[in-house]
Structure 1
Amino acid sequence: MPPPSNHDSAAPSEPLVLPGADQDVFGALPPALRQCLAKAARVILIANNPAISQADFDALGVGADDVVISFNLCIKAALLKPESVNLFVHGFNAPDCYFFGLPASTGVTQLAAQPGARCFTLLVGCAVPLCPLPDVALYWDRIPLPALAEHYPVDRPNGKRFVGPSTGFNVLVLLDWLRAHAGYPYRLMTLGFSNEAGKLWGGHAWDYERNWLLGADVEVIALKPRSWWRKLLFSK
């Protein structure tokens, strides 16, 4: 019997399906955190940028109606205020199976222990089975939003693969999505996302992430001008 006419034709390519594609993006957030976001006037993301100064943070005028987000090592924890909602986000290191910045630093634990403190934890990029605590948000790798999944670059110019979105970009895209799909009215702002100091790890598609930020409804707060000696110090 002769083979079907399409026997030698190439099979249609299957769409790329990333792990975590079926997770509930909205439902993964604890109800108490969703309530804080719904009432927030501003959501402010603070980068792990050593160039951020006390004056930069104080100029924001952070208050009780704001949600302030820190990442991984939370190197600017000393600047945070207990009056605001504080969300600590930790990205997952898949090769070594741990979350960056956990256990939390002394600055973070002291802030969370203050009376009336409203502190939350969000774990992102998880690639192993975990059972989250009731008040901890947990997202698997990847969060099924276009900018984080199908649109995110796969290959670096040198042929190696990107590991995926940075911790900050994961949360930035998530928060932008929540405004559109959950009706949250907050202003979305970033401080220190302009790379005035330090070095960027090559595993993330930084050009893509920056271009997304430039086109999004996000207020990028510039850092205050630094003296020549601070520029020299933070350039190393």
Structure 2
Amino acid sequence: MMDETMALDALPGGDQSVFGALPQGLRDCLGHAVRVVLVANNPAITAADFQALNIGADDVVVSFNTCIKATLLSEQSVNVFVHGYNAPDAYFFGLPYGPDVQRLFAQASERCFSMLVGCAAPMCPLPGVAMYWDRIPLPPLWNYPVDRPGGKRYVGPTTGFNALVLLDWLRGHAGYTYQLMTLGFSNEAGKLWGGHAWDYERDWLQKSDVIVVPLQPRRWWQKLFRQK
């Protein structure tokens, strides 16, 4: 069973307000949302996988860092772009935005939001941007594993896990009623960097009531092509 206790003075960020960091516009959109769908940076996701979700105006779609599936996104839904902080080099993954994300902001700026997680250096808050310091004081994030096999240390939660735990917590503590779903969190492709505790994150997801949407079956020749 996951440890629910938190020593809030053990890490930076323990005094931040989880709900208070959200801009009012995003709070309102989450309050009206029927579904919140987190889309992984998984190369195996196809247009057919995304279209099968039938994303509409009452849905919130959450993308991460470089947002490699930005071409599939629509201005009809609410779009949230979450970016993790690279502390050693002092930049956020995926910023500045590429042309596909810029297009969405230009077409529907009132339905597009940015979220910065893992902040570890002094910076000014920006209007309409959710900003979270490292570490967000929620038990699955606060009690994230430290030591990995071989003696090295984990750098902390992935950008996606930060957002997933946060959005799950909001359902139980802020009165939101949306259905929480993930697409591409199913290991069909991509690389898993060793600096994150992937087994820990997968175990949390499996034990939660978050809906993991499987990707559609591939034809035999598609599987062969991906192996090359």
TM-score by length of 1: 0.91
1:73 corresponds to which residue?
Answer: 66
Q: How do 1:31-50 and structure 2 match up within 5 A?
A: 31-50=24-43
1:144-191 Cα deviation digits (max 9, x unpaired): 0010012x1110011100000000000000001000000100000000
Tell me the distance in 2 between the aligned counterparts of 1:185 and 1:15: 28
% same residue: 70
1:187 corresponds to which residue?
Answer: 179
Does 1:111 pair with 2:104? Answer: yes
RMSD: 1.5
What is the Cα deviation at residue 226 of structure 1?
1.1
1:131 corresponds to which residue?
Answer: 124
Greater C-alpha Rg = 1
What is the Cα deviation at residue 111 of structure 1?
1.4
1:160 corresponds to which residue?
Answer: 152
1:216 corresponds to which residue?
Answer: 208
Distance of aligned partners of 1:116 and 1:99 in 2 relative to their CA distance in 1, 3 Å threshold: closer
Alignment gaps of 5+ in structure 2: 1-6
Task: Please give the secondary structure, in 2, of the residue aligned with 1:113.
Answer: helix
2:95 corresponds to which residue?
Answer: 102
1:23-75 Cα deviation digits (max 9, x unpaired): 01000000110010011000000000000000000000000000000000000
Tell me the distance in 1 between the aligned counterparts of 2:219 and 2:126: 45
Between the two proteins, the alignment pairs up a number of residues equal to 222
- Contact 1:30–1:137 at 8 Å: present in 2 too? yes
TM-score by length of 2: 0.94
Tell me the distance in 2 between the aligned counterparts of 1:105 and 1:116: 15
What is the Cα deviation at residue 16 of structure 1?
6.8
Tell me the distance in 1 between the aligned counterparts of 2:39 and 2:15: 29
Alignment gaps of 5+ in structure 1: 1-13
Would you tell me which structure has more helix in proportion to its own residues? 2
Task: Please give the secondary structure, in 2, of the residue aligned with 1:120.
Answer: strand
- The list of structure 1 runs, each at least 4 consecutive aligned residues, that deviate by more than 6 angstroms after superposition, is none
Tell me the distance in 2 between the aligned counterparts of 1:115 and 1:180: 29
Tell me the distance in 2 between the aligned counterparts of 1:167 and 1:155: 19
